Amino acid sequence: MSKRPRAESDAVEPGAFRCGHVAIVGRPNVGKSTLINALVGARISITSRKAQTTRHRVLGILTRQDAQFIFVDTPGFQTEHRSPLNERLNRAVRSSLAGVDVVVVVVEASRLGPADRAVLALIPAGVPVVAAVNKVDRLADRAAVLPFLAELAAVREFAAIVPISAEKSWQLDTLLAAIAKLLPIGDAEHPEDELTDRDERFLAAEYIREKIFRLLGAEVPYATTVGIDSFEHKAGLRRIHATIYVDKTSQRAMLLGEHGERMKSIASSARRDMEQLFGGKVFLEVWVKVKSGWADDERMLTQFGY
Ligand SMILES: Nc1nc2c(ncn2[C@@H]2O[C@H](COP(=O)(O)OP(=O)(O)OP(=O)(O)O)[C@@H](O)[C@H]2O)c(=O)[nH]1
Ligand SMILES: [Mg+2]
């Protein structure tokens, strides 16, 4: 990625611009992707109420006058279920932690379980860690967070502990201020209008996967992956052909729904999101195919980009 030379006029003070990589880690479902989207100001990482929505390492880039924050969203660190797919997701978490300047560990207000402690134990020594205590909007009594903050502070050293609500965008400036101090001085690595390292093809597949996570029950989302067969951008229109792969024929039927109604709503809601993010019309065609055992097959996992 090319470096953008900084203009004299917007420099805060000579040499004071900061830029660094900030890994966002935490157990599944704590709100990491909601947080990165709120920080960047765009839906670059998919979210849902189900654990383990994120399966890829995704960069979210925020450029301000004084700093560029390169956030790294990661899959939720899984401690309960062992499978070839989960092994790959955990590997992605571990490798995202290597070489970052700051780690933001997201925990849920008032809950510090073994899964949170497992994530804390992964963080390499010598990297400053900021704790984002998320979902404080759920607490009936705000003061209830105080003993939790004390409990957290006793677990390890934190550069800062900040109670936030990613969903309501509460206290995100405080969180950013705490992170900014820890970034090294240096030039921006990405152009200032760049929001993510991922291309439209990747985001298109992710938006389809998000709708499946949001619209279907407990089984199908975990048995599903999405591939983009073709992506053509001509005269302002994006024509996208995608295939959803499931593990079993019964899951295909669940995805399609009666008379294909469910599939229609998945596709049209994914298409609307794409049109908003890409800023143009999208034609989307989605097929559903059965590919048994894809999540347990190392070769297929690689083929699907995990
Ligand atoms: N009430 C409340 N809900 C939140 C907040 N942040 C996230 N959530 C919800 O928590 C759920 C999980 O959010 P995600 O952002 O997908 O969580 P994640 O940590 O990225 O999850 P994985 O990718 O599965 O590890 C979603 O239903 C969010 O809407 C918050 O500040 N307050
Ligand atoms: Mg996520």
Read off the pLDDT of each residue in 234-247 and give the average, rounded to a whole number.
97
Name residues contacting ligand 1 (CB within 6 A): 26, 28-34, 47-49, 51-54, 75-76, 134-135, 137-138, 165-167
Residue 201 CB contacts under 8 Å (≥ 6 apart), including other chains: 228, 231
Pairing of strands 129-134, 102-108: parallel
For residues 129 and 103, give the distance between their C-alpha atoms in angstroms, rounded to a whole number: 5
* Å from CA of 236 to ligand 1 middle: 33
| Segment 281-295 mean pLDDT | 97
Pairing of strands 67-73, 58-63: antiparallel
Residue 149 tokens, joined: 């903050």
Output the residue whose Cα is nearest ligand 1's atom 14: 31
Residue ID of nearest Cα to ligand 1 atom 27: 49
Q: In what order do the strands lie in the sheet with 58-63?
A: 58-63, 67-73, 18-25, 102-108, 129-134, 160-163
Neighbours of 92 (CB within 10 A): 18
End-to-end CA distance of the chain: 23
pLDDT exceeds 60 at position 155: yes
pLDDT in tens, 2-24: 334 444 444 455 568 999 999 99
pLDDT band at 1 (very low <50, low <70, confident <90, very high): very low
Do 71 and 86 meet the contact criterion of CB atoms below 8 Å apart?
no
Of 180, 114, 163, 165, the residue nearest 135 (C-alpha): 165
Cα 222 to averaged position of ligand 1 atoms, centre (Å):
17
- Ligand showing the shortest atom-to-Cα distance for residue 32: 1
CA–centroid distance, residue 239 to ligand 1 (Å) = 31
Q: What is the pLDDT of residues 159-194, one digit of tens each?
A: 999 999 999 999 999 999 999 999 999 999 999 999
How confident is the prediction for the chain on average, in pLDDT? 93
**DSSP conformation class of 7:** P
CA-34 nearest atom, ligand 1: 15
pLDDT of residue 305: 93
